[in-house]
Each structure stands twice: as C-alpha cells, then as structure tokens.
Amino acid sequence: MQQVSVPETADRPKLVPDQQWVSIYIEQAIADFNSNSRTPQLLRCLAKEYPDLFFTAAAKHVESEVDSAAHRFLAVLLLRQEGLFERLTNPARCSCKSAVQLFRNLLTVDTTLDFKLAKLLPGRDGSVQDNTLKRRHAARAIDILDKTSPGQRLLPVVGHLTNCEDAHISSKAALMVGHRVSNPVWLARQLVREDPRLRANVLESTWGAKSGPAIRILLDCANDPNNRVAGNALIGLYLAGCPDVAERALAMSISPLPGRRSTAAWAMGKIGSQEFLGRLTELMRDENPKVRSTALRSLAEIGRAEEARPVEKKPEPVAVTPVPVAEPVAAGVPQTPFDLRLDGSSFKMGRRSSSR
C-alpha cells in the first residue's frame, strides 16, 4: 500500500484531490493512531473539510468487524456528521447489506441512534419537515431499522407508516411491523389491502410461524391472484412444515402466466429440494426470458446448497480379531484343569474347591 506520512506541523490535512487519497490517508491514520498524537486532530479536520469523501472512506472501516481505538474514533466522527442519515439511507451510495452493518456498529456507540433515524420518517398525518427522509431514503431507513432495532421499541414511532400513501414506504413498514407483531387479527386486516406488494411483505413477516391461524392464512393466500403474494405464502407453508408445498410449487410452474411460472421457479430455489431439478431444467427452456433467468438462478442456488452440505463420513470398518474355535474334545481324553476364580472360589474340571 502507498504510504502517506501524516504531516507533523500542519493544523489540517493538505488539499484532498480525490476519494483514493482520502482512503489511503485514513488507512495510514489507523495504522499511526496509537503512535501519533496528532492523528485524531487531523482526522477531525478531514471529516469537517471533506465530509462526503470522509464518510465513504471511513464507513468501510467502521462497518468491518475490527474493534480498535481508531475504529471507534472513526465511528464517533461519523455520528457527529450532520448529513449522516442522508448518506446512510441513500441506495446509490452503498448496498443495503453494507448500510445495515454500518448502522449496527454505530448503534453500539450510540444506543439511541435507531430512535433518531425513525424520527426522520414521515409523520402520522403525512406531514414532512425539512429533514424528513424522502421516498427512497425512507424505504432504506425502514430496511435498516427492521434488521437492527430490537423488539417492539420503535412500533409507536413507525406503526402508522403501514397506512402511508406511498406504497413503497407502507409495504416496507408492513414487513417491519409484521416481524414484531404476532397478531392474526392485524395480519388478516392487512391482507385485505389492495396493494399486492404490502400483502406480500406481510406474508413474508410470518415466515417461521407455525400456529394454526398463521397456517390457515398462508393456505388462503397460496392461491392469491398476485404471484408474489402466492409465492411468499408457499415459502411460509414450507417453513411451517406443511407436506404438500412441493406439489403446489410444481403446479404453479405450469401456469399459463409467465409471472407465476417465474415465482414458482423462485420458490423452488428457496425451498432447495433436489426434486425440483428436472422441472427447473425444463423452465430453462421457457419462452419467457424472466422465467429462464429465474430458473437458472434457482438451479445455481440449489447447487450451492448441495455443495455446502457436509458430507457424511462412513464409519471406519472395525478390525475384528478372529476367535479360535476349540477343537472338539474326544470322549475319555483327560483335559488340563481349567481354573476360573470368582468370589475367591476355584473351579477345576467341574469340581469346586475352596481357594481359602
């Protein structure tokens, strides 16, 4: 790696030309953090003068699993940034997985961070403030909170968003709330909504539930006209241990509607059974390109799962020493006395004598 020495006499870092320079500078600062007393001050200057470049470079270190004084200091600097949430929830900046991991690590430094982010979501009356997160940012924020904020602590703050006029936000909120509310009445009320994306997310939130009411709802939705709703119901039934899920998936795969065939192929990949290989191979030749691509991904997914499955080792054969078989004793031939001592007694040729 290119070495960049931290200037000992400068009050602030030199002019930053590009993102690469910032990344190299931060890497060197992490290496020198415990040995150079001026490094924290210079990192503060960098975060203040070039916040956008600093966020991108520092986030990669903070979201890692490394725990050091330098990494904790970078986390504190990110938490102090005025535009933290705007950058964190921007889908164009980083993947949802990276944003979730970064937020999770920041949450260990500031345990109220989830409340602070939730308060930037649209209000109950649909009102928005200057700092309210807009559509894509709000949806990403809900994804982050769903995967990081524990329990039901945010339900009073985000529960109303299931009724948001923006379908993208309401469907994300339904998934988050559904993960935290085990209430068949609430579930049934959401499933009569018109938005199929919301209904699909509500069903996804039930994955893993095995109660009678939950299974009955999943069975009702397995034939939903919307293919995404029906597909999520199939996965829910599979996770609940229902026996006829494979037959349902195969029946959906012969639908005249390409959307349902594609969803069936997707569900087969999620279930991961080897019995789907033949049908998925046939779907690889489907007339619809989306069906073909989904079938290909599912075949690859099943193949990866099979490769990752641990191989059962057969037990090593145990070597058995053959026991010699005694020759038959001829009648009238005297034998060597056989002694077997149990409880202090001696037995010889069938005659018992005391060993004491």
% helix, strand, coil for the chain, step of 5: 55, 5, 40
Tens digits of residue pLDDT in 66-98:
999 999 999 999 999 999 999 999 999 889 999
Tens digits of residue pLDDT in 181-196:
878 889 989 999 999 9
pTM, rounded to two decimals: 0.76
Nearest alpha carbon to residue 114 among 205, 180, 65, 204: 180
What confidence tier does 324 reach under pLDDT thresholds 50, 70, 90?
A: low
In sequence order, what E strands does 137-274 have?
Answer: none
Instruction: For residues 308 and 310, give the distance between their C-alpha atoms in angstroms, rounded to a whole number.
Output: 6
What confidence tier does 327 reach under pLDDT thresholds 50, 70, 90?
A: low
Tens digits of residue pLDDT in 139-164:
999 999 999 998 899 999 999 999 99
Supply the pLDDT for residue 312: 64
Instruction: For residues 46 and 29, give the distance between their C-alpha atoms in angstroms, rounded to a whole number.
Output: 11
**291 and 283 Cβ atoms separated by less than 8 Å:** yes
Helix 227-239, helix 258-271: angle, nearest 10:
20
CA-based end-to-end distance of the chain:
87
